[in-house]
Structure 1
Amino acid sequence: MSDAPALPVLDATQARLLGCLIEKQATTPDVYPLTVNAAVTAANQKTARDPLMNLQAGAVQHGLRALEQLGLARQQFSSRADRYEHLAGKAFSLPDQQVALLGLLLLRGAQTVNELLSRAERLARFSDADDARHHLERLAQRNPALVVQIPRGPGQREDRWMHLLCGPVDVEAISARTGASSSPATSGSSELDHRLADLEARVAELEARLSRLEDGGAAPPAAPQLS
């Protein structure tokens, strides 16, 4: 009988928000920790998210507080707006690479090693696919495991990986699914995906800086150029 603590079981909103906090810490450090409004924007992005969501501020605030109660997030109080940061690395004793992989799985569901390696470029450094696979295997070998490997199904060329923070998953059912979402990303689609995600991140920065200015804060630094 194992004495290992049980994993927290997150609902879909909490999982999305934890993934957003992990992502934005790396991609938009100027506006991290996130306000509730910034978290709403991040959770409802139209790129780099699967499935798409349309969360309202009340649900996001409730989800962030739930993550705080689970020890996966921490609220920072300020004079203008409360902000939230994730504690995934501390809560699960994970290095940055494994936190990044977990964040991507929370944001996009089951993915191949090559998809994760491509999408992790702005979050953490991996020497190659074998390095990323090594960190995934470490996450899967934990007690309890944080991720599970999904064997390739019909028409699929690679195994996929999925997080377990929303509870156990039906590996056989997921393995049997086919479709474009399970195919390795092509270089063209990956590049477009990165460009769209980068544009959304810059727009989020502009919105956060404008919010600070409207709240009476210091003048924001020069806005990033959208190209």
Structure 2
Amino acid sequence: MHSESARPEDNTQSSPVRWRPLSKVERRVAGVLIEKAKTTPSNYPLTLNAVVTACNQKSNRDPVMHLDEETALAALESLAADGAVGIVQGAGRVEKYRHYFYDWLGVTKVELSVIAELLLRGPQTLGELRSRVSRMDKIADLGEMEQLVEGLIGKGLVRYLRSTGRAKIVADLLYSTEELERLEAKYGADSAVSRSEDSGVRPPSTQASVVGQLQERIEAQAREIESLKADVAYLFRELGLKRPEHEATDTQ
């Protein structure tokens, strides 16, 4: 499930890194190619139809998209022009698509899984990332997850949108400048509040901004709860234990 054919793992740093910001559709297409290469290698490379189906699936996607073949093809061709995607001939001369993101980004096997999850779901907490990345490459604990993120920060590929408190928020840097600024404004809204609480001084703010900051905290806590539920479900599966029916229903 986690193997990828023709993966020159030892050569990840041999080629110059040449990544650029990606559009929303390119992000989804890129995430899909990486994901499917890892989770369903027997069906990889992907046909255009398979790419579209995977882009539009409802599970493991945020937001859910409704791409057509023309839109997906344009993104594939754009990525291919920059060397991130390759086109191969499948059975019956059907064109199929594979990725070259290891060399394009200059990352390792597990690092690419982290990038894939960020491309498919957007900014996430460390706990969310660990549980979700583990479906492609197992992450032992949050400590290992944090080390991976720090390594990607060093490569200029990810950053913390929120680096304090219990729910650190991680985002990749393959967004456009405008989109990244929007995310920074959204997820970094509690930074000033955290600093002011430490100093005992509350910054001036409108009622709307306070409500927005509280809402961000509630959403972060909700994400953390979902991540913990996923961790528990993973442990039950690993240990071969059967969960109580009401708990199994709650995690779905």
Alignment match of 2:161 (pick from 144, 150, 156): 150
Residue 108 of structure 2 corresponds to which residue in structure 1?
Answer: 95
Deviation per CA, 1:51-74: give whole Å up to 9, x if none. 110000111111111111121111
* 2:95 is aligned with 1:82: yes
CA–CA separation in structure 1 for the residues paired with 2:228 and 2:34: 25
> CA 1:137–1:152 in structure 2 vs 1: closer, same or farther (change >3 Å)?
closer
- Highest Rg: 1 or 2? 2
* 1:102–1:75 CA distance, 2 compared to 1 (3 A): same
Q: CA deviation at 1:120?
A: 1.2
| TM-score between the two structures when normalised by the length of structure 1 | 0.74
Where 1:183 maps in the other structure, the secondary structure is helix
Considering Cα pairs closer than 8 Å and 6+ residues apart, tell me whether 1 or 2 has the greater RCO.
1
| Root mean square deviation of aligned Cα | 2.4
Number of the residue aligned with 1:180: 219
Structure 1 residue 187: Cα displacement: 4.3
Q: Which runs of 4+ in 1 moved over 3 A?
A: 4-7, 179-182, 186-193
Q: Specify which of 38, 46, 50 is matched with residue 58 of structure 2.
A: 46
Q: Which amino acid aligns with 2:170?
A: W
Q: Is the 8 A contact 2:18 2:104 kept in 1?
A: no
Offset at 1:192? Answer: 8.2
In structure 1, how many angstroms separate the alpha carbons of the residues matched to 2:135 and 2:227?
A: 18
Match of 2:176 in 1: 167
**Contact conserved, 2:48 with 2:69, CA < 8 A, in 1?**
yes
| 8 Å Cα contact 2:131/2:227 also seen in 1 | no
Aligned match for 1:60, one of 56, 69, 72? 72
Q: Deviations for 1:31-53, whole angstroms, at most 9, x for unmatched residues? A: 11111000001000111111110
**Amino acid in the other structure paired with 2:46:** L
1:110 CA drift (Å) = 0.3
Distance 1:186 1:151, change over 3 A: closer
Give the total of aligned pairs: 186
TM-score (norm 2): 0.67
One-letter amino acid of the structure 2 residue matched with residue 30 of structure 1? S
Query: Which of 153, 156, 164 is the matching residue for 1:140?
Result: 153
Q: Which runs of 5+ in 2 are unaligned?
A: 1-15, 190-212, 235-252
Residue 70 of structure 1: aligned partner: 82
The alpha-carbon deviation at position 122 of structure 1 amounts to 2.0
Residue 193 of structure 2 corresponds to which residue in structure 1?
none
